[in-house]
Amino acid sequence: MTLLHGGRLNQIAQQYNIPVDDWLDLSTGISPLSYPIPEIPLQLWQQLPQESTALIAAAKQYYQCEQVLVTNGSQSIIKILPNLWQTHMPLSKTVYLPERGYKEHAHAWRIAGYNICFYHDELPAIDMLESNSVLVVINPNNPTGKLFSVEVLKQYQSKLIALNGLLVIDEAFIDVFSSDQSMCTTVNNDNTLVLRSFGKFFGLAGIRIGFLVANNFWHNKFSNALGPWQVNGPAQLIAEHALLDISWQKQQRHNLHQLRKQQEALLLERLNREELSKELIAEINGTNLFLTVSFHNKNTASKLYHLLCQQGVYCRLGDEEDTLRFGIAKQEELTKLAQAFNKAVTT
């Protein structure tokens, strides 16, 4: 089964018969502001990718960890994790996953034959966790924006260590928060894995690079399973520069926060106007990389999604089709977004 994701602009443009260049694509949680590409030496294009000790050092510093594995994005880890864990812990049968969240997690564990127990907004009761089980936490959650504290996650970590279980924390969107919100510093055991994405915060998803923070045991297991040449040389150099550029990171967090506030205000103003028969929005959640809108009437999301597409605005219709997730727009794109809402809600 192929899962649907945002970022399918070519298909959507063809479906609605609007040229690709005429669209405002807010279908992903990728920053609209990207790290500037440094000059790349010719030999990095000519050679097979080498392991970059400079990148690994930069990643260890950025993630504040002792061991890190460079991968071609989190997806490669998500895909092979269930089988590696099953080999390591054959008695494991159950995985706990957020009901709303990145669906590739559930897809991978389901294919591996695990019993999937979904939890809602809150983590499953800690005393109800089974021996040898796996708990997957998307922190902050995509699309709900729910963020669990390090203190809470450490309690679950201790419990899963005692149960010979595994805690998997997907921190793909956590870069917009302060570093002390991350669990990367706690990965000193066989029972914890942290997945980090590079492309979202740095706005360079196209270079396909991510990181697995794990102890030496899991580092070697995943490295052997993934094989050589995971990430091309130019991508490694770009990531090295970006991870070391503290000044740019600080400015990026500030800029994204400002853009998020402006866009949230726009959503509320355009969808809850007095001239509408009633307020459409129930609540807005998210992070500084995306905003997820819930509606009083669950049918509103699907209807509004299609009306916005007809105006050349592409957002993400939730998997349950009762929410819309908007990536963060640039300042100059807000006018097009506002105009699209004006036409959509009066149609």
Is the same domain home to 219 and 92? yes
Same domain for 130 and 147, yes or no, is yes
pLDDT digits (tens, 9 = 90+) for 234-265: 999 999 999 999 999 999 999 999 999 999 99
Q: What is the mean pLDDT of residues 101-106?
A: 94
Question: Are residue 226 and residue 253 in the same domain, yes or no?
Answer: no
CATH code, 101? 3.40.640.10
Residues 91 and 234 in one domain: yes
Q: Is residue 4 part of a domain?
A: no
What percentage of the chain reaches a pLDDT higher than 70?
Answer: 97
pTM equals 0.95
> Are 178 and 76 part of one and the same domain?
yes
Of 327, 341, 331, 325, the C-alpha closest to 144 is 325
128 and 185 in a single domain? The answer is: yes
CA atoms within 13 A on the CB side of 205: 14
82: its two tokens = 């269930």
Query: Which residues span the domain enclosing 178?
Result: 42-244
Ranges of H-type helices in the chain? 9-16, 42-46, 53-63, 74-88, 103-111, 150-162, 199-202, 216-226, 233-244, 246-271, 299-310, 334-345
Q: Are residues 52 and 194 in the same domain?
A: yes
Q: 262 and 313 share a domain?
A: yes
58-61 long-range contacts, CB within 8 A, separation 24+: 58/239, 58/240, 58/243, 58/244, 59/211, 59/239, 59/243, 61/243, 61/244
Q: Name the packing angle between helices 334-345 and 246-271 (round to 10°).
A: 20
Q: Which residue blocks in 311-333 are alpha helix, DSSP H?
A: none
Q: Quick check: 171 pLDDT over 90?
A: yes
Cβ neighbors of 5 (< 8 A, separation 6 or more) are 28
Establish if 2 belongs to a structural domain.
Answer: no
Instruction: Please check whether residue 274 lies inside any domain of the structure.
Output: yes
- pLDDT tens figures, 310-345: 999 999 999 889 999 999 999 999 999 999 998 888
Query: Of 216, 244, 272, at which residue does a domain stop?
Result: 244
Find the helix or strand (DSSP H, E) in which 170 lies: strand 166-170
pLDDT for 37-80, tens place per residue?
999 999 999 999 999 999 999 999 999 999 999 999 999 999 99
Using one digit for the tens of pLDDT, what is the confidence trace for 271-295? 887 556 567 888 999 999 999 999 9
Task: Answer yes or no: do 67 and 144 share one domain.
Answer: yes
Is residue 21 over pLDDT 90? yes
Tokens found for residue 85: 């864990």
Burial of 212: CB neighbours in 10 Å, binned 0-12, 13-18, 19+: buried
User: Per the structure, how many domains does the chain have?
Assistant: 2
